[in-house]
């Protein structure tokens, strides 16, 4: 008896906390379940709900242990079973709630939130059933006893005070947070702003904002906040070309050249894609800074998280930063520098990321049109003083490809978009990972091996090489078949004649015509793409005999890392109004091109080489062909990187080799005998 009284006393001590937190959790849980609005009050409801949940989880474990220890001997199996089931479901609700509080609502574990909600509701129903069944099945012979000894009036009052305390905490926190004002500005970060290209603040970039003004630096230069939760994705982005878009030494040299030849306002043309932070905060004005200047947010972050995830629609598909940027809807204490307030901000996002996802996962991000906002380019008279000039446009090339599903020249096939190649799904531990634990890769692998090399980033470089060598370009040496080697005096059936494989070989001292076919079988746009006036893609062909003696070559590099000028190149040569080569990529001087050679997606290019087989050649000849790629030609890289000793990597995108037998051409003997007279 004494032991029972002791257990009842302990239960009463826990009951006030248990029932008070339960009441508060039930009400706030119902509010969260039925309300989808994003407000500071709803965020505080989630936060204080989580705090109450911790106390409830502790109390339900302790109370359950004490209660079942005291009542286990009662002969009411139905009541006991319902109570035990309610306790287990409550534990499930507590576990899922604590998991969400610690890990947040992860995309791959979205079901846990539903489990938490439904288990809480089911447990409440079971608890009510347990209490009612206990009331009705309470033995009459014990009518003099209190049916619910741990729910005495004093315990109920304490429970009410506990629920009231949580409610007061919620109200106080909400009231105090209303006084917090992040004071986000729409004014230029540089103060006075010069409108050199009309009334629009971002021209010649074609960027727009909802209010037509600038963006507060805290609302866009905040990738460090994203890293806290999205560490795996952030690691990939840190290695990527996007992150280095402004700190790329070649870009820095070019944007400084533009600022020098024109002024800083002209850099708005470039910065909308290379350094959106500088453009959108209004830094591109006299007295401000551009992304090519070190120790600035624009230079450090390049194309950062918000540069893409802050875009919600496009202005057009002609490029030059033709996107609409909108800051996110603020969560609690957004933009605060105080560690405690920042922790509350992060926790509020983790507990209810629905608005976060609506803001940062716009449908446009998953469409190939999105890439056109920067991976297409033109320049008009405001910049070049000449007129409208079309430049790179990988998006239009993709539209014209077999992969877009929109070109009637190609049969229907599975649609492949930019993301499928450049952002494949990879396994991560990121909160945004899908049910298979994968997210889109943020390495943005492509062909800029130069940045990976200069950064000494072997991981990113290896990804680049594997990507470029994944059967995207092929080269095939055509066998030099000889039609005159198929003659025979023997009768052959027509079926056999149709299956004859023409032999191939060459003669000593013979002039050989050799054909190569280069095919774009896996690049979704033209090859090469991007800045084809700077990128260097060419065909290397080497012919040697059996002893390795060189017979013919084209496309080799000399000791100074310069490619044979007579090689077959895939590139463009832009020119200025005087017809001179614009080799520094100072595109504001460009008015057209004197040469352009690319292979469209799904297309092929046939090359012909002619050489003579020397008399000393030993059979067989080995013909080696390769399609080579280097980010930046030697002349430009020496100027842009300001270091002639830097050897940029040359990557073999495709190779083919063919052995050709060498024969001695039979001598032709002329008969000197007199023709015999015809028989009489």
In a domain, 403, yes or no: yes
Give residues with Cβ within 8 angstroms of 207, minimum separation 6.
272, 276, 279, 280, 315, 321, 322, 323, 324, 325
Q: What is the pLDDT of residue 486?
A: 53
Cβ atoms of 321 and 273 closer than 8 Å: yes
Cβ atoms of 119 and 89 closer than 8 Å: yes
Number of domains in the chain: 3
Instruction: Write down which residue in 178, 209, 226 finishes a domain.
Output: 178
139 with 90, same domain: the answer is: yes
In a domain, 191, yes or no: no
Instruction: Write down which residue in 398, 426, 444 finishes a domain.
Output: 444
How far is residue 180's CA from residue 170's CA, in Å, rounded to a whole number?
16
Which residues share a beta bridge with 178?
none
431 with 538, same domain: the answer is: no
Across the range 231-258, mean pLDDT stands at 96
Please check the confidence at residue 650 and state whether its pLDDT lies above 60: yes
393 with 351, same domain: the answer is: yes
In a domain, 570, yes or no: yes
Across the range 290-301, mean pLDDT stands at 96
Please check the confidence at residue 418 and state whether its pLDDT lies above 60: yes
Residue numbers of the domain that contains 295? 217-327+338-444
How far is residue 519's CA from residue 599's CA, in Å, rounded to a whole number?
7
In a domain, 452, yes or no: no
14 with 67, same domain: the answer is: yes
483 with 439, same domain: the answer is: no
488 with 632, same domain: the answer is: yes
69 with 133, same domain: the answer is: yes
Distances (CA, A) of 72 to 66, 81, 268: 10, 10, 76
DSSP count for the chain of H helices, then E strands = 22, 18
Q: What is the pLDDT of residue 144?
A: 43
Q: DSSP label at 176?
A: H
Mean pLDDT (the chain) is: 90
Residue linked to tokens 């060598």: 469
Instruction: Write down which residue in 178, 207, 226 finishes a domain.
Output: 178
pLDDT tens per residue across span 455-473 = 899 999 999 999 999 999 9
30-39, 186-195, 594-603: least confidently modelled range = 30-39
In a domain, 675, yes or no: no
Which residues share a beta bridge with 507?
663
545 with 497, same domain: the answer is: yes
Give residues with Cβ within 8 angstroms of 72, minimum separation 6.
80
161 with 235, same domain: the answer is: no
In a domain, 677, yes or no: no
Give residues with Cβ within 8 angstroms of 568, minimum separation 6.
538, 539, 554, 555, 607
Q: What is the pLDDT of residue 554?
A: 97
161 with 302, same domain: the answer is: no
In a domain, 198, yes or no: no
In a domain, 430, yes or no: yes
CATH code of the domain in which 604 resides: 2.60.40.10
53-62, 228-237, 282-291, 564-573: least confidently modelled range = 53-62
CATH code of the domain in which 75 resides: 1.20.120
Q: 237, 308, 300, 665: which is closest to 485 by C-alpha?
A: 665
49 with 127, same domain: the answer is: yes
pTM of the model: 0.88
402 with 501, same domain: the answer is: no
Cβ atoms of 307 and 240 closer than 8 Å: no
């Amino acid at each position: 008896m004494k032991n029972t009284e002791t257990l009842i006393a302990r239960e009463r001590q826990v009951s006030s906390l248990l029932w008070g937190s339960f009441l508060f959790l039930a009400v706030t849980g119902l509010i969260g379940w039925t309300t989808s609005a994003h407000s500071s009050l709803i965020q505080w409801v989630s936060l204080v709900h989580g705090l109450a949940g911790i106390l409830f989880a502790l109390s339900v474990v302790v109370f359950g242990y004490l209660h079942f220890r005291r009542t286990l001997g009662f002969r009411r199996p139905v009541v006991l079973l319902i109570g035990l089931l309610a306790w287990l479901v409550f534990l499930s609700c507590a576990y899922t709630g604590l998991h969400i509080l610690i890990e947040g609502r992860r995309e791959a574990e979205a079901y846990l939130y539903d489990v938490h909600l439904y288990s809480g509701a089911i447990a409440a129903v079971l608890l009510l059933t347990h209490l009612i069944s206990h009331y009705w099945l309470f033995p009459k012979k014990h009518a003099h006893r209190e049916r619910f000894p741990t729910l005495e009036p004093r315990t109920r009052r304490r429970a009410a005070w506990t629920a009231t305390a949580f409610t007061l905490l919620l109200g106080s926190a909400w009231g105090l947070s209303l006084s917090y004002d992040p004071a986000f500005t729409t004014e230029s970060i540089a103060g006075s702003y010069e409108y050199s290209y009309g009334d629009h603040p971002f021209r010649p970039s074609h960027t727009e904002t909802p209010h037509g003004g600038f963006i507060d630096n805290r609302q866009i230069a905040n990738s460090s906040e994203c890293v806290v939760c999205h560490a795996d994705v952030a690691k990939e982005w840190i290695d990527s070309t996007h992150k280095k878009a402004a700190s790329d030494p070649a870009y820095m040299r070019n944007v400084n050249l533009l600022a020098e030849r024109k002024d800083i306002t002209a850099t708005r043309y470039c910065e909308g894609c290379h350094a959106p932070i500088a453009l959108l905060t209004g830094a591109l004005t006299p007295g401000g800074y551009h992304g090519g200047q070190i120790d600035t947010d624009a230079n450090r972050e390049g194309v950062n998280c918000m540069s893409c995830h802050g875009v919600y629609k496009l202005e057009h598909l002609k490029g030059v930063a033709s996107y609409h940027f909108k800051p996110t809807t603020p969560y609690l204490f957004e933009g605060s520098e105080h560690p405690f307030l920042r922790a509350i901000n992060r926790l509020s996002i983790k507990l209810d990321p629905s608005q976060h996802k609506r803001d940062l996962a716009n449908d446009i991000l998953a469409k190939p049109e999105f890439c056109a906002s920067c991976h297409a380019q033109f320049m008009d008279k405001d910049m070049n003083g000449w007129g409208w000039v079309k430049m790179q446009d990988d998006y239009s090339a993709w539209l014209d490809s077999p992969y877009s599903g929109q070109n009637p020249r190609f049969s229907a096939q599975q649609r492949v978009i930019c993301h499928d190649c450049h952002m494949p799904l990879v396994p991560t531990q990121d909160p945004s990972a899908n049910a298979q634990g994968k997210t889109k890769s943020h390495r943005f692998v492509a062909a800029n091996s130069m940045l990976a090399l200069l950064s000494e980033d072997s991981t990113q470089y290896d990804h680049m090489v594997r990507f470029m060598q994944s059967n995207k370009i092929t080269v095939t040496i055509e066998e030099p078949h000889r039609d005159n080697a198929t003659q025979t005096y023997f009768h052959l059936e027509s079926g056999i004649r149709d299956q004859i494989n023409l032999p191939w070989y060459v003669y000593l001292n013979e002039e050989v015509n050799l054909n190569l076919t280069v095919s774009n079988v896996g690049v979704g746009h033209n090859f090469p793409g991007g800045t084809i006036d700077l990128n260097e893609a060419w065909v290397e062909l080497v012919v040697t005999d059996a002893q390795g003696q060189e017979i013919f070559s084209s496309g080799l590099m000399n000791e100074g890392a310069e490619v044979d000028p007579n090689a077959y190149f895939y590139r463009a040569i832009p020119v200025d109004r005087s017809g001179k080569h614009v080799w520094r990529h100072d595109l504001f001087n460009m008015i057209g091109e004197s040469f352009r050679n690319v292979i469209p997606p799904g297309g092929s290019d046939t090359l012909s080489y002619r050489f003579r087989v020397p008399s000393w050649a030993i059979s067989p000849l080995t013909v080696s062909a390769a399609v080579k790629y280097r980010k930046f030609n030697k002349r430009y890289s020496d100027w842009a990187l300001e270091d002639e000793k830097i050897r940029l990597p040359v990557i073999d995108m495709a190779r083919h080799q063919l052995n050709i037998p060498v024969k001695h051409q039979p001598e032709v003997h002329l008969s000197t005998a007199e023709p015999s007279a015809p028989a009489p």
